[in-house]
Amino acid sequence: MPYFTGEESKARAGVAAGDTAGRGAFARMLDSDIWYSFRHSPLTIGAAIVSLILVLAALFAPIVAPHDPFDPASISIMDSFYPPVWSADGQSGFLLGTDDQGRDVLSTILYGMRISLAVGFASVLLAMMLGVTLGLVAGYVGGVTDTIIMRIADVQLTFPAILTALLIDGVARALAGPQAYDEIVFGVLVLAIGLSFWVQYARTVRGSVLVEANKEYVLAARLIGLRPVTIMFRHVLPNVLGPVLVIATINLALAIITEATLSFLGVGVPSTQPSLGTLIRIGNDYLFSGEWWITIFPGITLAILALAVNLLGDWLRDALNPKLR
Positive or negative: CA dihedral 280, 283, 289, 290: negative
Residue from 118, 213, 226, 296 in contact with another protein (CB under 8 A): 296
Q: What's 32's DSSP letter?
A: S
Nearer to another protein, 55 or 226 (CB): 55
Nearer to another protein, 211 or 287 (CB): 287
Residue 58 in the binding site for another protein (CB under 8 A): no
Residue from 16, 88, 174, 224 in contact with another protein (CB under 8 A): 174
Please name which of 109, 10, 29, 102 lies closest in space to residue 64, comparing C-alpha atoms.
109
Residue 82 in the binding site for another protein (CB under 8 A): no
Rounded Cα gap, residues 52 and 58, in angstroms: 10
Please name which of 315, 318, 321, 325 lies closest in space to residue 47, comparing C-alpha atoms.
315
Residue from 4, 26, 60, 159 in contact with another protein (CB under 8 A): 159
Residue 52 in the binding site for another protein (CB under 8 A): no
With a CB cutoff of 8 Å and minimum separation 6, the contacts of 272 are 70
Residue from 75, 138, 209, 253 in contact with another protein (CB under 8 A): 253
Site residue total, another protein (CB under 8 A): 37
Residue from 46, 66, 93, 266 in contact with another protein (CB under 8 A): 266
Residue 257 in the binding site for another protein (CB under 8 A): yes
Q: How many residues does the chain have?
A: 325
Residue 86 in the binding site for another protein (CB under 8 A): no
Residue 187 in the binding site for another protein (CB under 8 A): no
Q: Residue 218: how many CB atoms within 10 A of its CB? A: 19
With a CB cutoff of 8 Å and minimum separation 6, the contacts of 83 are 89, 90, 97, 291, 293
Residue 48 in the binding site for another protein (CB under 8 A): no
Q: How far is CA 75 from the centre of its chain?
A: 31
With a CB cutoff of 8 Å and minimum separation 6, the contacts of 209 are 135, 136, 138, 139, 140, 236, 240
Q: Residue 17: how many CB atoms within 10 A of its CB? A: 8
Residue 275 in the binding site for another protein (CB under 8 A): no
Residue from 13, 175, 184, 219 in contact with another protein (CB under 8 A): 175
Residue 260 in the binding site for another protein (CB under 8 A): yes
Q: How far is the CB of 174 from another protein (least distance, A)?
A: 4
Interacting residues toward another protein by CB under 8 A:
154-155, 158-160, 162-163, 166-167, 169-171, 173-175, 253, 257, 260-261, 264-267, 280, 284, 287-288, 290, 292, 295-296, 299, 302-303, 306-307, 310
